[in-house]
Amino acid sequence: MSLFFKIAHEPIDRQALQAPLHLSEAGGFCSFEGWVRNHNEGRAVNGLDYEVYEALATAEGRRILQEAQKKFSLSAASAVHRSGALCIGDIAVWIGVAAPHRDAAFKACRYIIDEIKKRLPVWKKEHYLDGDAQWVMCHHHEDVADR
Amino acid sequence: MKIYLEYFAQLRDLAARSHEERETTVTTPAALYEDIKKEYCFPFHRKQLRVAVNDAFVPWDYPLKAGERVVFIPPVTGG
């Protein structure tokens, strides 16, 4: 059972990440890509920076994959999150899950992206077309407060 | 005792530094955060944050030891 997580400082190569998940025991593969979009909360976005607490993010990312492995019947799972400066359309996060059956692949993929968004110590600074830039506020305050 | 602090994102901007050493008499991250929050005018209530010591999440009442590295984690926005 192969689990792979990393913080990437260079553009994400989806084909290179997907190849090792193509296993003969797997009957299905599910992936999710998070992309940089050109607007947020009514403002035109030009690009963004991800700041990452890398040691903790790497440990927490691996923990999330291990949790997915325990909850669902998987053949392999990989996840990569970007750090640094990204342009519109760039892949910010890539998740790939291979499983004997589709239900586990879909559910694990959803679990992994949801937990990454809630728990990975990563912060997004958006740059706007009007020249301003700001740290994006989180939408998980209640979740954090409950920990 | 001496404690090392690292700052990320909004907290780094507000503290105007990425790290520092600090002499303190407090013994938990909770008390340490209240001191630092006042000094740098951090906008976050402690309940909005998490805290890590030596690259692992810990509870707010974790007993700090000299030389440990503390990071207050502002609300995360990855993905």
Kindly list the residues from chain A whose CB atom is less than 8 angstroms away from the CB atom of residue B9: 51, 123, 125, 135
For residue A147, pLDDT beyond 50: no
Beta pairing class for B50-53 and B56-58: antiparallel
* Ramachandran region, residue A21 (left: φ > 0; alpha: ψ -120 to 50; beta: rest): alpha
Compute how many other C-beta atoms are within 10 angstroms of the C-beta atom of residue A120.
25
Domain harbouring A83, CATH code: 3.90.1170.40
Interval A90-145: pLDDT, tens: 999 999 999 999 999 999 999 999 999 999 999 999 999 999 999 998 655 444 44
pTM for this prediction:
0.93
Interface of B with A in 14-33 (CB under 8 A): none
pLDDT at B66 over 80: yes
Q: Is B53 on the interface with A (CB under 8 A)?
A: no
Side chain identity, residue B12: R
Question: Average pLDDT of A9-31?
Answer: 97
Please report the pLDDT score of residue A137 as a whole number.
83
For residue B55, give the nearest of A52, A56, A136 by CB distance. Answer: A56
Distance between B7 CA and the closest CA of chain A, angstroms: 9
Mutation target to probe the B interface, by most B beta carbons within 10 A, among A115, A123, A142 is A123
Q: Does B22 have pLDDT greater than 90?
A: yes
Number of structural domains (chain A) is 1
pLDDT at A145: 40
B79 contacts A135? CB cut-off 8 A: no
Digit-coded pLDDT (tens) for B26-61? 999 999 999 999 999 999 999 999 999 999 999 999
Partners of B4 in the β-ladder: B21, B69
On the question of pLDDT at A53 being above 50, the answer is: yes
Q: Provide the percentage of residues in chain A whose pLDDT is more than 90.
A: 91
Phi, psi (deg, nearest 5) at residue A97:
-135, 130
Please list every residue in chain B whose beta carbon sits closer than 8 Å to the beta carbon of residue A135: 9-10, 13, 77
Which domain does A54 fall in, by range?
A: 2-146
Q: What topology does CATH give the domain B2-73?
A: Ubiquitin-like (UB roll) (3.10.20)
